[in-house]
Each structure stands twice: as structure tokens, then as C-alpha cells.
């Protein structure tokens, strides 16, 4: 999780925290119920392996994989039956994953992650767990609304999908990782409780508090910086974007002038303008005299129309359509 956070993959870290949260529930439940429950947990994998083998054998022909020998399945079944004899029938839950907790479980129905988290007082993290599940299970929420995308509801923003690392969204998985990792470590320390372990638990809690605060402050600063940058971008039109982010000599090619204007080159066009190219915008609008020059020396009705066409030509020169799976016609 540290590597994912350091690399800027908040949603990946969030998905791994989901597993850590489940581990914290399991460790807390075992810590609360002692050695017999721990032994059942360690033995349960044999129950699961038997039912996995059944599923494997059911689909092995369609998957065209090495078939499972009958002797292997019989051996797994024998081990399963021995565990049932040792721990009782409750441990055999058909491989659903929670049979090991059946005897210690006090809720209605069979044990489940949901019922166990309530018993160990970790249900307050359920909202975050639900969010993490959306990404893991390919839900529409998790696909479209990534932690790594900062959205400002009062600013118009394009709909985008995150395709790489981002500095955003690291606070939530970072804070939750600290909380759940401390929970698991505390459960381990509780097995041999003494003065040093109590001091360790107190120190961990102080560390978690500091981590939560540092992540919160970093997130707040990042969101403010992003808001300022987003507002600046949102207030720009096509003229601002073209002139501010593309070199004029690249935007206005000689071919462009030849095909669409009476000017032979960019220097000639600059000389004809009443103001410098960097100053054609007067606040939110283009200087009227600039539009007059464009109308007199080109096929365009305004400077913005000229820039629109120049930008379209620039895109065709610099973007390879096949790289984006789009039709270049």
C-alpha cells in the first residue's frame, strides 16, 4: 500500500486497504475468542480447498487444464471429514469462508464478515468498505468516480476517466491504512499483554493520529491548488488555450496561412495586427481592430474563427489518430 500511495495510485491502495480491513475484522474476532477459534481458522483452509477442488473439477474440461485426479479429491474430502469430526459440523460451510467462526459467533444466522465486524465494533468503517468494493467489483461508481480525480461541484469540468497516477485522493486510503494496520498490530500485542505492549499501543495511537492529520492537511492544500488551477482553466476560451499553451509558430503554419489567408507568414500576420499577438485579448473579448484585420486578410469573420481552424489543423498535424483508435477521416 505504501508503494501504491507513493506511486500516486490512490484507488489501488484503497482496494488493498479493503483486504486489510477484512484482515482486521478477522484478527479482532480471533483475538476476542481465543486459541480454539484461532485453531479453527488455521485449519479451515482445508475445508475451502476441498470445495475449490470440486469447482475446479467441474470446469476443467471447458478450461482445457490438467484434470484433477480422483485420488486428490478423495484425499481432500478425507481431511475435511476429519476436521468436521474434530471441530463439529459447523466448520463445514460449503467453502463460503466463515465456517471457522461458527462456534464463537453470537449473531443470528451463520457467521459472515458483516456480522463479525459488528461484533468487534468495526462496522463504523462500512461506508469506506462499500466504496472500496465498488472499484474491486468493477461497479459504475468505482469506474467513473475515482479517488484520484478532484471534482469541484461549483466549477464546470469535463467528464474524464483516470488512466494513470495522480496526487489526489491519497488521504483516504492513507488514513484508513494507518487505522487498520494499527488495529491488526494491537490484536497481535493483546495476545501477550504487558507494560511494553501497552506502551507500544499508546505510541501507535499517537502515530495514527499524526498520520491522519498530515494526510488531511496535505489533501486540503492540494484541493485548494487544484481549485485555483481549475478555475483558471475554466475561465479560458479557445483563444486563451491556443495562444497560452501552443507556440504560435507551431499553431500558425505557413501552410495554414497559404490555404486560408492572404498573409505569407506569421511575421507578416503579426505586423498587420494592431497589437501584439499576446495582447489580442482585451479582457474576455478580442480587440475589435484585430477582428477587422482578420476579416480583411482572410476567409474568416473573426480572430476566434481563425484560431479555431488553426487549432484543428494543429491537432491533425500533431495527433496520430490510430494511437487513440479514432477515424482520421
Angle at 36 between CA 32 and CA 39, to 5 degrees: 110
What does each C-alpha distance from 192 to 35, 86, 184, 206 come to in angstroms? 13, 27, 14, 21
Angle at 86 between CA 85 and CA 92, to 5 degrees: 65
Q: What is the pLDDT of residue 60?
A: 96
What does each C-alpha distance from 131 to 7, 50, 53 come to in angstroms? 21, 32, 32
pLDDT at 324 exceeding the cut of 90: no
**Whole-angstrom Cα distance, residue 198 to residue 7?**
34
- Condensed to tens digits (0 to 9), the pLDDT of residues 67-125 reads 999 999 999 999 999 999 999 999 999 999 999 999 999 877 889 999 999 999 999 99
Q: What is the pLDDT of residue 234?
A: 64
Do 222 and 230 meet the contact criterion of CB atoms below 8 Å apart?
A: no
Higher confidence at residue 167 or residue 143? 167
Residue whose cell numbers read 479453527: 40
Do 76 and 53 meet the contact criterion of CB atoms below 8 Å apart?
A: yes
Cβ partners under 8 Å of residue 266, min gap 6: 248, 249, 252, 254, 257
120-134, 165-179, 217-231: range with lowest mean pLDDT:
217-231
**Whole-angstrom Cα distance, residue 223 to residue 229?**
10
Q: How far is CA 128 from the centre of its chain?
A: 13
Higher confidence at residue 240 or residue 250? 250
Do 307 and 248 meet the contact criterion of CB atoms below 8 Å apart?
A: no
- Condensed to tens digits (0 to 9), the pLDDT of residues 206-243 reads 999 999 999 999 999 988 887 877 776 666 677 887 88
Q: What is the pLDDT of residue 326?
A: 46
Do 151 and 144 meet the contact criterion of CB atoms below 8 Å apart?
A: no
Q: What is the pLDDT of residue 144?
A: 80
pLDDT at 145 exceeding the cut of 90: no
- How do 285-286 and 281-282 pair as beta strands? antiparallel
**What ranges do the domains of the chain cover?**
2-151+161-234, 239-324
Four-CA torsion 179, 185, 188, 193, nearest 10 degrees = -90
**Whole-angstrom Cα distance, residue 328 to residue 326?**
6
pLDDT at 249 exceeding the cut of 50: yes
- What pTM value is reported for the model? 0.73
Work out the mean pLDDT of the chain and round it to a whole number.
89
Amino acid at each position: 500500500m505504501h508503494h501504491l500511495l507513493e506511486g500516486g495510485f490512490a484507488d489501488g491502495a484503497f482496494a488493498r486497504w479493503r483486504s486489510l480491513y477484512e484482515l482486521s475484522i478477522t484478527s479482532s474476532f480471533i483475538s476476542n475468542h481465543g486459541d480454539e477459534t484461532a485453531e479453527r481458522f488455521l485449519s479451515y483452509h482445508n475445508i475451502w480447498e476441498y470445495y475449490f477442488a470440486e469447482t475446479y473439477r467441474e470446469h476443467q474440461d471447458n478450461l482445457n487444464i490438467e484434470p484433477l485426479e480422483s485420488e486428490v479429491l478423495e484425499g481432500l474430502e478425507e481431511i475435511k471429514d476429519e476436521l468436521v469430526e474434530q471441530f463439529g459440523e459447523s466448520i463445514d460451510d460449503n467453502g463460503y469462508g466463515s465456517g471457522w467462526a461458527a462456534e464463537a459467533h453470537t449473531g443470528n444466522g451463520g457467521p459472515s464478515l458483516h456480522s463479525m465486524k459488528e461484533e468487534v465494533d468495526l462496522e463504523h468503517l462500512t461506508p469506506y468498505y462499500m466504496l472500496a468494493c465498488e472499484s474491486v467489483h468493477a461497479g459504475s461508481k468505482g469506474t467513473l468516480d475515482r479517488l484520484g480525480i478532484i471534482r469541484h461541484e461549483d466549477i464546470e469540468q469535463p467528464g474524464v476517466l483516470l488512466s494513470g497516477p495522480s496526487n489526489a485522493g491519497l488521504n483516504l486510503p492513507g488514513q484508513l491504512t494507518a487505522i487498520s494496520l494499527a488495529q491488526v498490530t494491537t490484536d497481535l500485542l493483546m495476545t501477550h499483554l504487558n507494560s511494553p505492549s501497552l506502551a507500544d499501543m499508546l505510541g501507535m495511537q499517537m502515530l495514527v493520529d499524526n498520520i491522519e492529520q498530515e494526510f488531511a492537511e496535505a489533501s486540503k492544500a492540494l484541493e485548494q491548488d487544484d481549485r485555483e488551477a481549475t478555475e483558471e482553466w475554466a475561465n479560458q476560451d479557445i483563444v486563451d488555450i491556443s495562444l497560452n499553451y501552443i507556440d504560435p509558430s507551431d499553431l500558425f503554419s505557413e501552410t495554414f496561412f497559404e490555404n486560408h489567408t492572404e498573409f505569407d507568414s506569421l511575421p507578416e500576420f503579426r505586423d498587420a495586427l494592431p497589437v501584439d499577438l499576446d495582447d489580442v485579448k482585451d479582457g474576455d473579448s478580442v480587440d475589435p481592430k484585430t477582428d477587422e484585420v482578420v476579416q480583411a486578410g482572410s476567409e474568416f469573420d473573426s480572430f476566434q474563427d481563425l484560431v479555431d481552424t488553426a487549432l484543428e489543423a494543429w491537432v491533425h498535424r500533431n495527433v496520430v489518430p490510430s494511437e487513440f483508435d479514432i477515424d482520421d477521416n
